[in-house]
A and B are shown apart, each in its own frame.
Chain A
Amino acid sequence: MWLLVLTLFILIFLIRTKNQPVKYRVLTLVFQEIIIIGFFIFLIKTSNPFNHIYPIPTEGLGLNPILQDPALAIHPPILYLGYVGSSIIFSSVLAATTLNIISKKWASHIKKWVLSSWIFLTLGILLGSIWAYYELGWGGFWFWDPVENVSLMPWLALTTLLHCILVLEKKLILTSWVIILSISTFTLSMSGTFLVRSGILNSVHTFANDPERGLFILIFLFSLIFLSLFIFFFFHKTSKDNSSNFFLMSKETAIIINNWFMMYFLSVVLIGTTYPIFLDVLSSQKISVGPPFYHKLIIPFLIPFLLIMAIGPKLKWIKSNLEDKIYLFTLLIISILLSIFIIKNFSSSFLINTILISSALYLFFITLRDFFSKRFKNLAQNTAHFGFSLLILSILFNSLFSSEIITNLKVGQSFENTKTKIVFESLNQKEGENYKSIIGNFIIQDSKGKIENLSPELRIYNQPNITTSEADIKTTLLSDKFMVINIVQNQEFFNVRYQVKPFMLWIWIAVILISFGGLISFVKKEYEK
C-alpha cells in the first residue's frame, strides 16, 4: 500500500519539477528511494506470507466486526496519502538543504506539496472521526485516543509548516525553522505508523499488533531521524543578512506567534501520548492520560490563539498598523455580548466558556465580514479560518448543550422526564449474513410534542462471537439524536442511552470547509502559473 502510493507520488513529483535544477531532483529521489527501500525490506521481512504466522490467530477467520465497514476502509488510505505527501516534503527539504538552494522559488514549489498532503490529512482525520461517531457507537467524535493523537500530530506540524512556507515564500526568513518542521512532520507520520502497528500504545485501534514489525519501523524511523539531523547540522548554513526588516506589528509576527501556539499544542499531544510509555519503562508505573489532561492544557491557550488568528491576517507584510480598528473593536464587543447572552440563557455559567465562545465568535465574525469586504482577495485563507472558527464553535456548543438520558427499560416500558418521553415499543429479530440482530423500536416525544422514531440495533456475530451495538442516529441541521441499546447480563431489561447532540453536522461541515480552503489555495496556485 505504502509502496504503491510512494512510487506514484514520485512520478508526479518528477513531472511537476521539470523546471527545477537537475541535481535537486536527483537528490530528492535518492532520499525518497531510501524511504522506499526501507519499506520494501519491511514488507519482505515481516509480512512474508511464507513466514510463520505471528501472533497465533485465536479468532479464526472472521474479521473484527467493527472493521467490516466501508467508512473504515477508506480513511486509512487517505491518511496515508497525507503521510506519503509528507515524505516527499521530507526528501525534498533534505535535498534542498544539502544543495543549499532554499529560495523563494523553492518555497512556492514545495508549498503545493505541503498543501496537498495537508488536505489529505485533514480529510483523513475527518473520515476517521466520522467512522468513530457512526460505527463505534460511543456518541463522540474525538476521544484523545493515542491513535487519533498520532494523526493529529503530523497535522499540527503540517499546518504550522503551511503558514511558515508562506513567510518563506514572501520573505526568505525562518529557513531553519521550515527545515525542522518538514523533518518533524514526516517523522511524526512515521512514528504514527510505528505507534499504531507496534502495539506499544494501548488503544481501541490496535487491531493488528506485531512487535517484530514495530521494532523494524522503530529502527528505520530513527535512522531517518539521525540522517536528517546529520544533514541539517552539516549542510545547513544560516544566512543572517536578510533579516534586517523585521517589525513587531507585521504579518510574520502574527504567524510566528501562531506557530508558537501550534508547537505548544503539538507538544501537549506528543507528551500526553508518549508519556505513559516513558513512565512505564523508567519506573514501571502505569498511568493513563485521557481527555481531561488535554482539555486542561489546551483550552486556556485556545483563547489568545483564536484572537491572533482573527487579527493576524489583517496585518500587512513587513510593517503595518492595524487597519480599521473601529470595526475590529466593535466586532469584539458584539461577540462578547452575544456569548454572554448565550451562556446566560443556558444554565452553565462558566467564565471560561464565555471567553472561549467570545473569541471563537470574534474569529467567526471577522472572517465572515472578510468574505464580503475583501472581494475574494484572500479566499483560501479566509475559508480555512472561517471553517476553523465554525469548528471550535460547534465543538463548544456540542459539549455545552448536549443532553442525555441513560436508563434501563423493558419492552413496553417508558421513561419520562420534564423534557422528553421515551417509549420502548417493541423488539424485532433479524438474520444477517453472518450475524443475528436484535432491533429495538423506540418512540421519542419532546416537550413540544414532536415525535421521533429511533431503532438501535444489537448485532451478535457468529465468527468471531462478538456483540456490537449499532446506534441509530437521526441527523438534522441543528442537532443529532443518538440512541444505543445494550444487553445487561442476566437481566430482561436493556440499557438504553439516548443523547441529543447539537451542531454535530456542523463539525463535519467545518472540517470540510477547512480542507476546502486548502483546495482553493491549491487551485489558485495552479491558476496563477
Chain B
Amino acid sequence: MKNKILPFSIIFVFIIIFVIFYKGLQNTNIYTPDSKTIFEVPSVSVKLFNSDEIINTLEIFNSNKFYLLNIWSSWCVPCKQEHPILMELSQNNDLEIIGINYKDTKKNANDFLKDLGNPYDNIIFDNKGTNAIEWGAYGVPESFLINNNKIIRKYIGPLSKGSLQEIKLFIK
C-alpha cells in the first residue's frame, strides 16, 4: 500500500507543476505595475515650469475637480503621438491637465509647446526625473487620472482613443 502512494503522489505533484507552467506560458512576462491600484497624490515639493516657484503638489490638486497628470518630454516620440488627444481633452472645462516635464530643457520644451499647442493648465519641471518616480511612473509618456486626491486610473504609454473615451466617461 505504502509503495503505491509514493509514485502516485509524485506523479500528482508533477501534473500540478505541468499545469502551472502551462498557465505561466500564457501570461506575459513583462512586468507593468498594476494599473488599477488606487493611491493618494504624493505630497512633495515641486518646481513649476513657468514661474520657477516651488510649491507642494497638494496645492496643485486642491479642488475636487478631475485632474489628468501627464508626464511628457520634448524628446519623446510617443508624446507627440498622444498630443492631439491631450489637446482635445484640454477643451473640457471639468478637467485640468497638469504636465510633468520629464528630463527636458526649458528651451526644447517651449519649442515643443509652441509647435503643437499647449494643453497644460500647469506644468511641473522635473529635469532630473525624480518627481515622476514619486508617482510610481517609470517612463514617458504616462498619465494619471486624479480625483479627490486619489489616483483613480493609470495610463502607461501614449493615450489612445479608447482611453480618451474612458476619461470622458469618468468626468461625466
Please indicate whether A and B come from the same complex rather than being unrelated chains. Answer: yes
Which chain A residues lie closer than 8 Å to B127 at the CB level? Answer: 490
How many Å lie between the Cα of A226 and that of B13 in the bound state?
11
Main secondary structure of the interface of A (DSSP, over half): helix
Specify the chain A residue showing the minimal Cβ separation from B7.
A233
Which parts of A472-524 form the interface with B (CB within 8 Å)? 489-490
Cβ of B29 within 8 Å of any chain A Cβ, yes or no, is yes
How many Å lie between the Cα of A202 and that of B25 in the bound state?
12
Cβ of B20 within 8 Å of any chain A Cβ, yes or no, is yes
How many Å lie between the Cα of A490 and that of B108 in the bound state?
10
Q: A202-B29, A490-B75, A490-B105 in contact; A281/B18 too (CB < 8 A)?
A: no
Specify the chain A residue showing the minimal Cβ separation from B32.
A286
Which chain A residues lie closer than 8 Å to B26 at the CB level? Answer: 211
Q: Are B21 and A200 in contact (CB under 8 A)?
A: yes
Which chain B residues lie closer than 8 Å to A286 at the CB level? Answer: 31
How many Å lie between the Cα of A225 and that of B75 in the bound state?
52
Q: Are A218 and B21 in contact (CB under 8 A)?
A: yes
Q: A215-B25, A229-B10 in contact; A202/B103 too (CB < 8 A)?
A: no
Which chain A residues lie closer than 8 Å to B10 at the CB level? Answer: 229
Chain B interface size band reads 20 to 34
Q: Are A282 and B20 in contact (CB under 8 A)?
A: yes
| Cβ proximity bits B11-48 to A, threshold 8 Å, 1 near / 0 not | 10010001011111111011100000000000000000
How many Å lie between the Cα of A354 and that of B143 in the bound state?
51
| Cβ proximity bits A275-288 to B, threshold 8 Å, 1 near / 0 not | 00110111000100
Cβ of B104 within 8 Å of any chain A Cβ, yes or no, is yes
Specify the chain B residue showing the minimal Cβ separation from A286.
B31
Instruction: Give the Cβ gap from B30 to chain A, nearest Cβ, in Å.
Output: 7
How many Å lie between the Cα of A199 and that of B31 in the bound state?
13
How many Å lie between the Cα of A490 and that of B25 in the bound state?
39
How many Å lie between the Cα of A229 and that of B8 in the bound state?
10
Cβ of A293 within 8 Å of any chain B Cβ, yes or no, is no
Which chain A residues lie closer than 8 Å to B22 at the CB level? Answer: 215, 218
Q: Are A214 and B25 in contact (CB under 8 A)?
A: yes
Which chain A residues lie closer than 8 Å to B75 at the CB level? Answer: 489-490
Which chain B residues lie closer than 8 Å to A214 at the CB level? Answer: 25
Q: Are B104 and A281 in contact (CB under 8 A)?
A: no
| Cβ proximity bits A106-124 to B, threshold 8 Å, 1 near / 0 not | 0000000000000000000
Q: B27 contacts which of A222, A225, A280 (Cβ < 8 Å)?
A: A280
How many Å lie between the Cα of A162 and that of B103 in the bound state?
56
Top-3 shortest CB links A-B: A233-B7, A277-B24, A202-B29
The residues of B with any CB-CB pair to A shorter than 8 Å are 7, 10-11, 14, 18, 20-27, 29-31, 75, 103-105, 108, 127
* 29 contacts across the A-B interface (CB closer than 8 A): A194-B21, A198-B25, A199-B29, A200-B21, A200-B24, A200-B25, A200-B29, A201-B29, A202-B29, A202-B30, A214-B25, A218-B21, A218-B22, A222-B14, A222-B18, A226-B11, A229-B10, A229-B11, A233-B7, A277-B20, A277-B21, A278-B20, A281-B20, A282-B20, A489-B75, A489-B103, A490-B104, A490-B105, A490-B127
